[in-house]
Structure 1
């Protein structure tokens, strides 16, 4: 037999094996697609997806109670990665116990410092509504004064340029410009002066002929 024919099957097998290598170029894409399917959860679509703790109103069955609180409304954080317990409460407020608690506007006589005046009225007695969720202004009267409108109203001493006819002189000073305090509760005499009464007073270096013992030599002359 011709020896060339003996090598022919061997060479054929060699070239066939050499051309049958694995093509792995697509495996990376498949793996990336799988990763992307996990990481591309859409926060805000109301559907709880892989990687999310919650989504919108979809809390995965969680409640304030399951989070260790007594009552309240559980919510989802805006990034869908955690639960928002700011609306949960350890103990519900008890309306009528005279104690201002979370969720209450007032409770009995506990008004949190609010008055008829702070609610926009001129006078009267502020109260708390029976459900502790609002103020009862039924016994408030009039309209509260508006400080800063240059009109003396209600309990104001003055308002802006309206000084009720008062001046620095009427306040016992010799000169200066009288003003009104920013909250309209009193007169501002900081710009009033007694300069000219020959008495050295606070803020004065001298007054008339009263030089406080100073002379030209004190100033290098």
Structure 2
């Protein structure tokens, strides 16, 4: 009976509890979790989250006493723990299970390009036994920062044949998802021929996705489509190609083309197992945020940067976003323009705007000088 509390270290505070009738008689009476040495089968592990050992006891008030239990995450290295840094971050030297991180534990750490949780891997595995991206073939190209591995297959084939050929290269391979201009620039460093990418709108016309099923995202806002693309000519162009020559302009561009009948080379990509990447839900590297999705309107952009007024994307606290420009439909403050917003809109025939609707102050409620 009484008031049970919680201490700052998240252990139970029984100071406000009073002993129930029968407490101390050496028997577990109804309503008693313990009595003396009788704990009702309870252990530290059963009553303390992430307990790693210690001794559970019973207070004179017949309440379980967990003060002698050891808990992973309390900042103290207890028996059974290799380390304890007091946080819930798996990307530092001590995991949330209070074990030291090592290559092969499935967690990508500093100095590792990947970690698939395997103690040893063959030469064809996407992740080597020393947790480096295995991209060592004569036709492979390893991205220096993302550790993604690319390979171009030159025989001209359909999109479906291209995807099958990429997947046959090994675990993790698929048609490439080119999600930024920087990635396209890297690819253009080793290919001058037209290639299939993983982009397609096979499921829903006009809604492009990558072959892996990932949402169609492009961190530079606008993918480099040819100026009249995607046009779905004759209603059967649903797969995306990259043309380094841009057809006639010399500027690399994307085209949608028939998946079955058009034939070009294949651009394959492999993402190392467990490699950190934008939208994986973990903030790493140069990311300002990472909410694990491709939505641009939730405060964290699909480029894993914090959304701000003027970035061209309407955030959760914005009515509009004109990319920093004052327009008829959006102010530089990312609000819909209107009389009383404090901004004189010449296009709306306003001659003043003092930010209020009071008459007699030199600017009328209609935003006309008085």
Please say whether Structure 1 and Structure 2 have the same fold, judged by a TM-score greater than 0.5. Answer: no
Considering fraction of residues, name the structure with more helix: 1
Which of these two proteins has the greater Rg computed from alpha carbons?
1
Considering fraction of residues, name the structure with more strand: 2
- Normalised by the size of structure 1, how large is the TM-score? 0.29
Q: Which has the higher contact order (CA 8 A, sep 6+)?
A: 2
